[in-house]
Chain A
Amino acid sequence: AQKVTQAQTEISVVEKEDVTLDCVYETRDTTYYLFWYKQPPSGELVFLIRRNSFDEQNEISGRYSWNFQKSTSSFNFTITASQVVDSAVYFCALSEAGGSSNTGKLIFGQGTTLQVKP
């Protein structure tokens, strides 16, 4: 069965600290997609990144970076020099790629609440 685990329920840091949000996933599919979403206090889901299972290149976007390691089934997210505006709930999610059993479902982790204090 597919599963996504975000073991960190809440993280609190002081502004300008670096912080890493962990995501571990389980799937038997060889082709799949991984996502990170940000949910600010206003409640909407903001797409951050999509990574397919064949692309293990790490990615950097400004202060955000993602480390994808198939060997450990992890897709961790690091915010460098955190800011108060980064305070939000962050979700990691997994989706299967296709086939007759494809329900198109996104499997979400439980979410990590990040609080960045000034």
Chain B
Amino acid sequence: EAQVTQNPRYLITVTGKKLTVTCSQNMNHEYMSWYRQDPGLGLRQIYYSMNVEATDKGDVPEGYKVSRKEKRNFPLILESPSPNQTSLYFCASRFRAATGFGYTFGSGTRLTVV
């Protein structure tokens, strides 16, 4: 089944403890991105990657890192999480369809930083 898989689904952590949220897609998509969702703000892009070894900042990159060493994986790294990074995170990959681009989203990771 074509999908984007995020892990974990839920995570509670303490301020300053490094964590990684994994994202993997099995569709050979070149483009992948991360979003965070906050109440009243919709979803905002954190980082994106056009292809392997090609990553760039989105609208809210502060406090996050990413890597793209292979096409299928695009992990999101929080080196020193803070409470303002408590949010719902989504990974997405983009594909080209006959009528344009489409996006496949993971199931989301609900992160709480205390």
Question: Does A108 count as interface, using CB distance less than 8 angstroms?
Answer: yes
Residues of B within 8 A of A33 (CB): 100-101
Determine if B33 and A104 form an interchain contact, defined as CB atoms under 8 angstroms apart. Answer: yes
Residues of B contacting A88 with CB < 8 Å?
A: none
- Given A52-B100, A97-B100: A43 and B45 interface contact (C-beta under 8 Å): no
| Per-residue contact bits, chain A 66-107, to B (CB 8 Å; 1 contact, 0 not) | 000000000000000000000000010101010000011110
Asked whether any CB of chain A lies closer than 8 Å to the CB of B74, the reply is: no
The residue that A104 contacts in the complex, of B94, B97, B108, B110, with Cβ under 8 A, is B94
Decide yes or no: A43 and B88 within 8 Å by CB, A50-B100, A91-B42 being known contacts: yes
Contact present for A106 and B41 (CB under 8 Å): no
Q: Which residues from B are CB-within-8-Å of A109?
A: 42
The reply to whether A97 and B48 contact each other, CB–CB distance below 8 Å, is: no
Q: Which of A43, A95, A104, A108 has the most CB of B within 10 A?
A: A104
Expressed in whole angstroms, the Cα–Cα distance for A11 and B88 within the complex equals: 23
Chain B nearest Cβ from A73, distance in angstroms: 17
Question: A residues within 8 A CB of B103?
Answer: 35, 47, 95, 106
Q: Which residue of B lies closest to A91 (CB)?
A: B42
Q: How large is the interface on A (under 10, 10 to 19, 20 to 34, 35 or more residues)?
A: 20 to 34
Q: Is the CB of B42 within 8 A of A110?
A: yes
| B42 and A104 contact, CB distance less than 8 A | no
**Which among A97, A105, A106 has the greatest number of chain B C-beta atoms within 10 A?**
A106
- Extra contacts, 16 of them, besides A43-B110, A47-B103 (Cβ < 8 A), are A43-B108, A45-B105, A45-B108, A50-B97, A50-B100, A52-B99, A95-B101, A97-B101, A104-B31, A105-B45, A105-B48, A106-B103, A108-B44, A109-B42, A110-B41, A111-B42
**Shortest 5 CB-CB contacts between residues of A and residues of B:** A108-B42, A108-B43, A45-B105, A52-B100, A44-B107
Q: Can you list 17 A-B contacts (CB < 8 A)?
A: A35-B103, A37-B105, A43-B88, A50-B100, A50-B102, A52-B100, A55-B99, A91-B43, A95-B101, A103-B48, A104-B33, A105-B33, A105-B58, A106-B92, A108-B42, A109-B42, A110-B40
